[in-house]
Amino acid sequence: MADNTVNLTIEGRAVSVPAGTSILEAAKTVGVLIPHYCYHSGLPVAGVCRMCLVEVEKSPKLAPACATTVGEGQVVHVYSAKALEARKGVLEFLLINHPLDCPICDQSGECELQDYTFQEGRADSRYREPKRFNPMEDFGGDVLYVQNRCILCTRCVRFMDDVHHAPVLNVTERGDRAFIGKAPDADLTQPWAANVVDLCPVGALVSKDFLNKARAWELDRTASVCTGCSQGCNITVEMRDNVVVRFKPRANEHVNHFYMCDEGRANYRWLNRPDRLEVPMADGRPVDWEVALAATAALLKGKKAHIVANASLSNEAMHLIKRIAGKTGGAVTYAVNTGIEAALPGATDLAVRADRAANATAAELFGFTRTSDVLSGLSAQHVLIIVDDALDGISADAVAKAGAVIVIATAMPTAVARANVVLPIANVVEEEGTLTNLRGRVQRFLQSKQAPGLARPSWFVLADLLQSLGEVAPHLTARAAFDALAKAEPAFAGMNYDTLALSGQTVPGALAGARA
């Protein structure tokens, strides 16, 4: 492989990268971020913003780092006076017609135009002429185009053309009259179109849903995983004052590259729902956790459990459910909502999956029964345990067949008229844990917000319940819960929180079609 390696020097650091790598990517490997706008590692190189100009020794002209491949023995200066001067010029040009409406711009605080201007730009402008003005345009879907802020980097155009294969955007007009145009009668309503908002380095393409909701610096951000389908796209949950305000994709080359679908993106509101279960209850009265757990154990004594599990529960919760089912000699059923599969054609193995649940893989792995009729076979001999399933399409009468009903949930299913015990749990952004996607990739999600009232993490409640049934399950942390799972389940053998890190690890050979 040595033949294919190119050695060069970037900002005094020795770099060895495969031949054909761009200077910009090579610089990243040694921690040098060359400023850029039009370049994005998921898109074809355009080389138009000219922001990534760097000085290459023995080359008469400055080189665009994104479009210049590394050469043996090259000496690259990113911060030489000549390169800085050129980039300062680009920033000045980009800002002459920019409205500088940062105070009312959603991108403010996470804007690369701001960042690089603070880093390398001029303190003032020499522009004395009237600024160009263009009206905003609704691009359809969740996208609003604010032309005045646009720097014409064409990332959005290239995403729609080359990744989404839905060429509806273009550059219209020429010169400083140019703007991003939309094909007539087309809207950005394609399943993955809203990614253009994330790709836009400035505030030109903004989310209508997020419009004027929060300033970027007010947001608390946590790494998580989307539970909208079995793809398991890595996301960042962004909250303001303990309220989730948006999801953003988090790059993971093995799962979602840089993207997430519009459906997943919109799927955050339920996390803020106000009708949450907040206190443990027994026989309709609020009680202490100990009382509720003891009541549950008493109900289960000598009875068979019929457990209905939500197919988006964490691996840890699923594992504990399996143990509870084992202890009480019952069955576990789960239902999966399905929808139309919609691939992102230009990205490898990425789609909104038909299974609109995050962890059907684990449910299958643990031997739960997938059925549309989750209460099938339920009788008065059973204690029905509902673990966060909404019981969609199930009637109250069907639920009433059970001898007793225990609800372990974030919200009360409408089909449950009367529950003997209610144990409130945290939802996916209120606890941490792991999920297994359809390719068998085990990925961690972290806790973003506080659970309401006395609600506790699902694995904590289920472990406590298991303890009250006389089993040993002292899971005081998510890590302990995962370690116990990894020890008990052969498919997870050898995994631990640290090796999972934030990009996950694949269940070794446990699933047909698993990706290496």
Interface with other proteins by CB under 8 A: which residues? 45-51, 53, 60-62, 64, 67, 85-86, 89-90, 92-94, 96-97, 126-129, 151-152, 170-171, 173-178
- Rounded to a whole number of angstroms, the minimum distance from the CB of residue 157 to other proteins is 10
Nearer to other proteins, 62 or 300 (CB): 62
- Rounded to a whole number of angstroms, the minimum distance from the CB of residue 201 to other proteins is 13
- Rounded to a whole number of angstroms, the minimum distance from the CB of residue 22 to other proteins is 12
* Rounded Cα–Cα distance for residues 46 and 93 (Å): 18
Nearer to other proteins, 86 or 384 (CB): 86
Nearer to other proteins, 169 or 277 (CB): 169
DSSP 163: I
CA-nearest of 217, 284, 273, 264 to 244 is 273
Category of 475 on φ-ψ map: left (φ > 0), alpha (ψ -120 to 50) or beta? beta
* Rounded Cα–Cα distance for residues 365 and 510 (Å): 8
Nearer to other proteins, 52 or 451 (CB): 52
Q: If you compute the radius of gyration of the chain from its CA atoms, what whole number of angstroms results?
A: 27
Nearer to other proteins, 125 or 381 (CB): 125
* Rounded Cα–Cα distance for residues 53 and 79 (Å): 10
* Rounded Cα–Cα distance for residues 146 and 135 (Å): 7
CB-count burial class (<10 Å; 0-12, 13-18, 19+) for 240: middle
- Rounded to a whole number of angstroms, the minimum distance from the CB of residue 143 to other proteins is 21
Torsion angle of C-alpha atoms 87, 88, 89, 93, degrees rounded to 10: 100
- Rounded to a whole number of angstroms, the minimum distance from the CB of residue 11 to other proteins is 20
Mention every residue, 6+ apart, whose C-beta is less than 8 A from residue 259: 42, 163, 192, 195, 198, 233, 249, 344, 347, 350
Nearer to other proteins, 58 or 61 (CB): 61
CA-nearest of 439, 434, 432, 436 to 254 is 439
- Rounded to a whole number of angstroms, the minimum distance from the CB of residue 104 to other proteins is 23
Category of 125 on φ-ψ map: left (φ > 0), alpha (ψ -120 to 50) or beta? beta
- Rounded to a whole number of angstroms, the minimum distance from the CB of residue 231 to other proteins is 34
* Rounded Cα–Cα distance for residues 398 and 85 (Å): 74
- Rounded to a whole number of angstroms, the minimum distance from the CB of residue 128 to other proteins is 8
Nearer to other proteins, 205 or 313 (CB): 205
Number of C-beta neighbours around residue 385 at 10 A: 30
Nearer to other proteins, 96 or 186 (CB): 96
- Rounded to a whole number of angstroms, the minimum distance from the CB of residue 135 to other proteins is 19
- Rounded to a whole number of angstroms, the minimum distance from the CB of residue 37 to other proteins is 8
Nearer to other proteins, 22 or 505 (CB): 22
Instruction: Report yes or no: 284 and 272 within 8 Å, Cβ to Cβ.
Output: no
Mention every residue, 6+ apart, whose C-beta is less than 8 A from residue 445: 223, 224, 225, 314, 428, 429, 432, 433, 434, 435
Nearer to other proteins, 69 or 222 (CB): 69
* Rounded Cα–Cα distance for residues 252 and 234 (Å): 7
CA 14 to chain centre: 35
Q: Where are the beta strands (DSSP E) in 5-162?
A: 5-10, 13-18, 53-56, 63-64, 75-77, 137-138, 143-145
Nearer to other proteins, 96 or 398 (CB): 96
- Rounded to a whole number of angstroms, the minimum distance from the CB of residue 216 to other proteins is 24
Residue with tokens 């400023």: 35
